[in-house]
Amino acid sequence: MKRTLAAVLIAAGVAAGAAAAAEPLATVGNVDLARYAGQWHEVAKYPNRFQQQCVGDTTATYGLRDDGDVAVLNRCRTRDGYDEVSGVARRVDGRTDRLQVSFLPAALRWLPFGWGDYWVIELAPDYRYAVVGEPSRQYLWVLSRTPGLAPEDRRAIEARLPGHGYDPARLVDSLPGKN
């Protein structure tokens, strides 16, 4: 009986996560990009191919540009030193919570490919943390203004992720000195 109940509860949880994933990804609404600008530390992420070289100390630094776009500088520690890449983020349909980011050379950014979605799905009222995803839910980042995140914030974020259609079990910590 206990095994049956446990199996039913697990199946219900999986079904709820699948149902949330089928829904369009909700974002936070307005993001004050001037307030969002500055350095963010990656606390956790879904593993991805384009950060495989990173072994820790991953940061993203954003700055407002005169043209209204956002300058992006991503940096991480590698086995041999540091790796960094510069790019630009542009608003999607004029929204500040839905951006597209490109790390292509500036001369190639007119191409219809090479842009990735950067959607802010959670943002602390005081901008101390942000959760960034994208509509396919293949990528996810938990960012903090400090290298660490308060345990209660981390637990609360992870508890809300299934409601966004994300599986918190897939998160990999990326605190300083760790993958």
9-24 exposure pattern, b = at least 16 Cβ within 10 A, e = fewer: eeeeeeeebeebeeee
pLDDT one-digit tens code per residue, 56-104: 999 999 999 999 999 999 999 999 999 999 999 999 999 999 999 999 9
- pLDDT value at position 14? 42
- Residues making up the chain, counted from first to last: 179
> What does each C-alpha distance from 10 to 18, 159, 163 come to in angstroms?
12, 15, 15
Q: What is the DSSP string of 78-130?
A: ETTEEEEEEEEEEEETTEEEEEEEE-S-GGGTTSSSS-EEEEEEEE-TTSSEE
pLDDT one-digit tens code per residue, 125-156: 999 999 999 999 999 999 999 998 999 999 99
Which is more confident, 88 or 109?
88
Report the range of poorest mean pLDDT among 9-13, 43-47, 89-93, 103-107. 9-13
Task: Judge whether 153 and 129 are in contact, CB under 8 Å.
Answer: yes
Confidence band of 21 (pLDDT split at 50, 70, 90):
low
- pLDDT value at position 177? 57
Task: Work out the percent of the chain whose per-residue pLDDT is above 90.
Answer: 79
Q: How far apart are CA 101 and CA 150, in angstroms?
A: 28
